[in-house]
């Protein structure tokens, strides 16, 4: 069976960290990834109401601008008692200076203000693929857990130190990258929302026979 994602694709992100992670995930399938930044493509405004909508906006713009299949992701933290906030505003809660300590403090204070004892939250990652011919595919990975305050750990990024996934005692901030984002070789479910979305994408669009 031929993979629907093969050869050269564009990663619709200007974030070097995301680009590196995607390149590493795609390399074993023989997919070569260039970034929207390297191709000089403009970053579209993320005006979507949810993660899937924003990922599609980015993937469509990159496919149209490059003439290549494009992969985009959008992700964030959703807190139950805050009606899903910060959600698509997760990056924006950290402000221009990307101050995630302040963003987590805001989550803590808004949850406390709500008066609810619930600390339930989940991370979401939407991966969207758009082809120059207009076809599209989306995959959404989630991981559920509890907010943890005071925050713990220095290993991850963003909201990692304030989130403990179900079935675990440690926060994402206390886990190694491999434990959080790794794709298990035995085919069992990965832990992070992004790794879970990638597993779905790989099953649908990449073929194991391409793996080296
Ligand atoms: P975007 O996907 O670049 O729009 O940004 C999503 C934001 O959500 C990031 O800036 C992070 O703050 C947060 N986020 C998404 N995934 C994770 C994660 O795995 N750990 C911690 N924070 C995350």
pLDDT of the residue at 21: 82
CA-proximal residue: ligand 1, atom 3 (nearest): 74
Q: How many angstroms is it from 90 CA to the middle of ligand 1?
A: 6
Question: Is the pLDDT score of 11 beyond 70?
Answer: yes
Ligand 1 proximal residues by C-beta, below 6 Å: 74-77, 90-91, 123, 156-160, 172, 192
DSSP conformational letter for 172: G
Between 16-26 and 193-205, two packed helices, what is the crossing angle to 10 degrees?
Answer: 40
In ligand 1, the atom with minimum distance to the C-alpha of 180 is 19
Single pTM value for the model: 0.92
Label residue 1 by pLDDT band (50, 70, 90): very low
Region 1-29: mean pLDDT is: 82
Is 74 a catalytic site residue?
Answer: yes
DSSP for 184-205 reads: -TTSPPPSSHHHHHHHHHHHHH
Mean residue pLDDT of the chain comes to: 93
18-30 average pLDDT score:
85
Task: Indicate which atom in ligand 1 lies nearest the CA of residue 94.
Answer: 12
Q: What residue ranges do the domains of the chain occupy? A: 8-211
Residue 86 exposure: Cα atoms within 13 Å on the Cβ side: 21
Residue 161 pLDDT exceeds 70: yes
Instruction: Flag whether pLDDT at 54 surpasses 90.
Output: yes
Average pLDDT rounded to a whole number, residues 101-117: 97
The predicted pLDDT at position 63 comes to 97
**pLDDT above 90 coverage of the chain, percent:** 81
Q: Are 193 and 127 in contact (CB under 8 A)?
A: no
Catalytic residue among 50, 73, 74, 133: 74
Query: Is residue 163 over pLDDT 80?
Result: yes
Q: How far is the CA of 143 from the centre of ligand 1 (A)?
A: 13
CATH class as words, domain 8-211: alpha beta
């Amino acid at each position: 069976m031929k993979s629907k994602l093969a050869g050269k694709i564009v990663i619709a992100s200007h974030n070097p960290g995301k680009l590196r992670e995607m390149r590493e995930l795609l390399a074993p399938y023989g997919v070569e990834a260039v970034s929207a930044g390297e191709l000089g493509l403009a970053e579209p405004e993320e005006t979507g109401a949810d993660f899937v909508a924003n990922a599609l906006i980015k993937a469509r713009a990159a496919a149209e601008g490059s003439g290549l299949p494009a992969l985009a992701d959008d992700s964030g933290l959703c807190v139950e008692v805050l009606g899903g906030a910060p959600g698509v505003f997760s990056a924006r809660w950290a402000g221009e200076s990307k101050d995630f300590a302040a963003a987590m403090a805001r989550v803590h204070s808004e949850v406390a203000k709500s008066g609810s004892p619930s600390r339930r939250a989940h991370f979401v990652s939407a991966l969207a693929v758009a082809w120059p011919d207009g076809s599209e595919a989306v995959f959404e990975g989630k991981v559920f857990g509890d907010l943890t305050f005071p925050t713990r750990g220095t290993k991850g990024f963003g909201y990692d130190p304030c989130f403990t996934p179900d079935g675990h005692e440690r926060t994402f901030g206390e886990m190694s990258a491999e434990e959080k984002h790794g794709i298990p070789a035995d085919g069992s479910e990965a832990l992070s929302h992004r790794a879970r979305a990638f597993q779905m994408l790989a099953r649908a669009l990449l073929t194991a026979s391409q793996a080296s």
